[in-house]
Chain A
Amino acid sequence: MAIYSFWIFDRHCNCIFDREWTLKAKQSSGVVNSKQNEDTAKLLFGMIFSLKSICRKLGNEDVSNEIRTIATGKYRVHVLTTASGLWLVLLTDVQQKNVSEVLHHLYGEIYVPSVAENWLSPIDFAEKEEEKMGQGFRKIQNRYFLRAVEQYLSPMVSR
């Protein structure tokens, strides 16, 4: 299994966390919450967002029809969307058909205890009105979360 990157988007369409791994020499190095990923984040969000709206148009509008995975020739995008408007996005190699358990673990066992249940961490990362609608820049900084993500995903990173 290879994991390329992990992203979280909040209800304000902002990317509040990103982690990208480089796979050289099976080392789990890479970047966390990096500046140069901002454009990629926007494009990734846009892609999923557009696909979501198309899905809704093609299907019956009343029944929820969520995107789960998007496959390309080289990689696969896995998406977990919650009723509260959070998206967790994981990019893996193309063989991984279903990583929903991984995504659920990231949400239920890592995000919820270290962000939602942690009063020292904000829950809404857009502090002002003008940081909403995809205009925000704040990221999850809390070290419990960062460490837990690292511990959980690193073993899966290398091929």
Chain B
Amino acid sequence: MVMLVFAIVNLTNFSVFTMPLVILELDLTGNERYPLMSRKIISPSTSVGQTSVAGTTGYDYTIGAQKTLPNRQQEDPLAAALYNHSLHPHARRPQVSISAYAFLFQEMVSLAVNTSKSVTEIENKLHRQGYALGPRLLELLNFRSSVTATSSRALFGKSATGPGGLGGPLEDSLASSITAMRRRDLRVLEILQFVHGPVWTYMFGRQGDDLVKSSERENEYMVVDNLPLLTQFIGHGNVQCDAFVCGIVEGILDGASFPCKVTAHAMPEDQHDRRVVYLIKFDHEVLQREALRF
């Protein structure tokens, strides 16, 4: 039990907390799809019992709680910020200016343009770069929505005793104070609402403008955005730069075991001449599973 608990914490830490690190290493192995190990491991339960694990982590009641990840020496503040604070749902949500983002985004697009021979290749590149973010966002947003008010205090109170000593030696780790992870989304509609709601709000500061089911094909859904934030400065051209967002969405859905293909289509309408429809085509197996009663 004790070892299992540690395995959970470690893996979640690894897969969520050190995002770009994982990106860099992922690319070593080519850009294959990213197996979501942590998802499976988390799902049974993440509750950290009150089991005493003192002996294994160097907990000393005369000193109080210490940084506890095994094999980790005294953590520096940088690492603490990296592994704990940045994950917290109530932490300061920093912002940057949209123009800074727009400059970076356009430079990313031109990088793709300069290293590609065809429009499809450019879009694929952008799509792949977005895809790398998907599984990370899925974990991060789920994780944040699982943190309860009590556990926020545990982190920011920073008191040696903490609320009731819950979580014991893992006190400083946010993961330890989560009593239950948010239930994962099992139905197509649930995961789509997750994308349309929390994911869109996280990325663009507002919900998607519409969520539509295709009347013609069973496996097709559409998320509508009347004014895409990232590409609003880019003229309509041959290249669909929203492929980046498609990649993110596809990464999230694949990560949540809803394999699909996502494509973007410019469909101007009345007031909204930049309106973009993200078309989500689920794989056949998703529908088969959906048809099961459970």
**B109's closest neighbor in chain A, by CB?**
A119
B110 interfacial by beta-carbon distance below 8 Å: yes
List the 6 closest A-B pairs by CB distance, nearest first: A119-B106, A119-B110, A117-B233, A120-B235, A117-B102, A144-B235
| Binary interface encoding of chain A residues 78-97 relative to chain B, with 1 for a CB under 8 A from any of its CBs, else 0 | 00000000000000000000
> Which of A117, A118, A119, A144 counts the most B-chain CB atoms under 10 A from its CB?
A119
| Binary interface encoding of chain B residues 103-114 relative to chain A, with 1 for a CB under 8 A from any of its CBs, else 0 | 100110110000
A59 interfacial by beta-carbon distance below 8 Å: no
What CA separation (Å) do A120 and B233 show in the bound complex? 11
What CA separation (Å) do A117 and B235 show in the bound complex? 11
| Binary interface encoding of chain B residues 85-110 relative to chain A, with 1 for a CB under 8 A from any of its CBs, else 0 | 00000000000000100110011011
A113 interfacial by beta-carbon distance below 8 Å: yes
Q: Across the interface, do A117 and B103 meet the contact criterion of CB distance under 8 Å? A: yes
Contacts of A144 in B (CB 8 A): 235
Contacts of B77 in A (CB 8 A): none
What CA separation (Å) do A118 and B233 show in the bound complex? 7
B164 interfacial by beta-carbon distance below 8 Å: no
Contacts of B109 in A (CB 8 A): 119
What CA separation (Å) do A118 and B236 show in the bound complex? 12
- Count contacts on B: residues with CB < 8 A to the other chain: 11
**A142's closest neighbor in chain B, by CB?**
B235
Report the minimal beta-carbon distance from A32 to chain B, rounded to whole angstroms: 19
What CA separation (Å) do A75 and B109 show in the bound complex? 46
- Count contacts on A: residues with CB < 8 A to the other chain: 6
Contacts of A118 in B (CB 8 A): 233-235
Residues of chain B at the chain A interface (Cβ within 8 Å): 99, 102-103, 106-107, 109-110, 233-235, 237
- Main secondary structure, interface of B, reads helix
Residues of chain A at the chain B interface (Cβ within 8 Å): 113, 117-120, 144
Q: Across the interface, do B237 and A117 meet the contact criterion of CB distance under 8 Å? A: no
What CA separation (Å) do A113 and B102 show in the bound complex? 11
What CA separation (Å) do A113 and B103 show in the bound complex? 11
Which residue from B102, B107, B237 sits with its C-beta under 8 Å from A120? Answer: B237
Contacts of B103 in A (CB 8 A): 117
Contacts of A113 in B (CB 8 A): 233
Report the minimal beta-carbon distance from B98 to chain A, rounded to whole angstroms: 10
Report the minimal beta-carbon distance from A70 to chain B, rounded to whole angstroms: 33
Contacts of A120 in B (CB 8 A): 235, 237
**A144's closest neighbor in chain B, by CB?**
B235
Report the minimal beta-carbon distance from A84 to chain B, rounded to whole angstroms: 16
Report the minimal beta-carbon distance from A149 to chain B, rounded to whole angstroms: 16
**A120's closest neighbor in chain B, by CB?**
B235
What CA separation (Å) do A144 and B99 show in the bound complex? 18
Contacts of A117 in B (CB 8 A): 99, 102-103, 106, 233
- Would you list 5 pairs from A and B whose C-beta atoms are within 8 A, ordered by A residue? A117-B99, A118-B234, A118-B235, A119-B110, A119-B234
What CA separation (Å) do A117 and B237 show in the bound complex? 16
Report the minimal beta-carbon distance from B163 to chain A, rounded to whole angstroms: 49
Not counting A117-B102, A118-B233, A144-B235, a sample of 11 additional A-B residue pairs whose C-beta atoms are within 8 angstroms of each other reads A113-B233, A117-B99, A117-B103, A118-B235, A119-B106, A119-B107, A119-B109, A119-B110, A119-B234, A120-B235, A120-B237
What CA separation (Å) do A120 and B113 show in the bound complex? 11
Report the minimal beta-carbon distance from A97 to chain B, rounded to whole angstroms: 33
What CA separation (Å) do A119 and B99 show in the bound complex? 13
What CA separation (Å) do A118 and B109 show in the bound complex? 12
Contacts of B106 in A (CB 8 A): 117, 119
**A143's closest neighbor in chain B, by CB?**
B235
What CA separation (Å) do A78 and B89 show in the bound complex? 52
Report the minimal beta-carbon distance from A57 to chain B, rounded to whole angstroms: 38
Contacts of B233 in A (CB 8 A): 113, 117-118
**B107's closest neighbor in chain A, by CB?**
A119
What CA separation (Å) do A12 and B107 show in the bound complex? 25
